[in-house]
Amino acid sequence: MFFKLLKDLPWMFAIAFIIWLIVAFTLWQKFISKNNASFYQKNKNIVLAVLMAISLTAVDIWYFVEYIPTHFRRDISKEQSIALSATDIVKEFQSNENAAYSKYNNKAVELTGEVEKVDEDSLSATIILRSDIPGTSISCRLKTKQDAVIGSTVSVKGILTGFIADQVQLSEAIITNTAVSAQTKIVVPKDSTATPLKDSAKNSATAVEKTVTAKMYSTNKASIRFFSHTTEEDIEATNSQVISKLNAQTGQLNFAALVKSFHFENELMQDHFNDKDYMNSDEFPKSEFKGILNNISKIDLTKDGTNKISATGNLSIHGITQKVFASGAITVAKGKINLKSVFKIKRADYGITTNEIADELEITVTCRYD
């Protein structure tokens, strides 16, 4: 652990070493100097010097461990970015995902497209940009809440975290330019998923389509939180850009998440989370669950109420797939379907060898299906 910290925070240890070196040198000079200072005065000087060294060392540790990681996050507004349309970047990933990932991974990109949806929560908001390629989109997790208008064309600048389930994802994003469409000017309220007004023919077609696909539910804003408790510290992170699909007829349940979309308050811990000794997200950028709700035939998703559920399936993390079992609940209220499950996994089962986190991790999954 000490050598890990020494590697990650060399300047913190260097400054602490210099502080104590100066104190030791100063005290040595006082002792070897030819003066008539009393024993009391010499001991007083030692105590004062040690107290000052302890205070300066504490400030040094606080600055590097607490202040810098939480106050010097990447400022995407000041970074140069690669400008593309929403459709163009999707095309690149569909054409050659590995090449596109190498080109854009962790880079600042500015994507332009039409706002399809806005999902707000207590912390921020996620904007979904429409692509001209059916079934694809751009998910932009905003750094702070900004106003968006469904149907408008916007440019969003953020850190590209990857491509999953036909969706490109950005984190730490900001809206840099807005050109509101003349046809639609609908201000999106909190937790709204309103869509632009369309002509009656299109509304009829949409109604027919919904009838045909009524048994399929999906969301772009599922959330996964992991929590680690050790005697040294508690660590937690949340990913609010998780994609989930539920087949209400067969019970097939899928979740897909990008590892780099997990957000920590402490940027140093976020860096650790993604490095080679931990999740190695450059090599294993995705995590997925594919399973079945065991008791779907007993649940009526058209009726308000809370139903206990259990799911069995394959969970892939860090390039390793393991069979898991999880229990939870589905709550139906006024047509809204909410799922929540809390379960535990062992990090060793997925080849995660770092001892910075607990052997057993608590995973909380929540989502509201459209």
Cβ(128)–Cβ(99) under 8 Å? no
Indicate left, alpha or beta for 15 from its phi (over 0: left) and psi (-120 to 50: alpha). alpha
Nearest to 152 by CA among 169, 134, 173, 175: 175
Helix, strand or coil for residue 280? coil
Statement: the pTM of the whole predicted model exceeds 0.95: no
| Phi, psi of 85, rounded to the nearest 5 degrees | -85, 160
From first to last of the 370 residues of the chain, give the pLDDT tens digit.
455 556 667 778 888 888 888 888 777 766 666 555 555 565 677 777 788 888 888 887 877 777 666 555 678 888 999 999 999 999 999 999 999 999 999 999 999 999 999 988 877 899 999 999 999 999 999 998 898 899 999 999 999 999 999 999 999 999 998 764 434 333 344 444 433 434 444 444 444 444 444 488 999 889 999 999 988 788 999 999 999 999 999 999 999 999 999 998 777 788 889 988 889 999 999 999 999 999 898 999 889 999 999 999 999 999 999 999 999 999 999 888 999 999 999 999 999 988 878 999 999 999 999 7
- Report the DSSP pairing between strands 252-258 and 286-293: antiparallel
138 vs 111: CA distance, rounded Å:
9
Degrees, nearest 5: CA angle 27-30-34: 160
**Nearest alpha-carbon partner for 191 in 139, 124, 131:** 124
Distance (Å, rounded) from C-alpha 80 to C-alpha 327?
Answer: 45
Residue 270 burial (C-beta neighbours within 10 Å; 0-12, 13-18, 19+)? middle
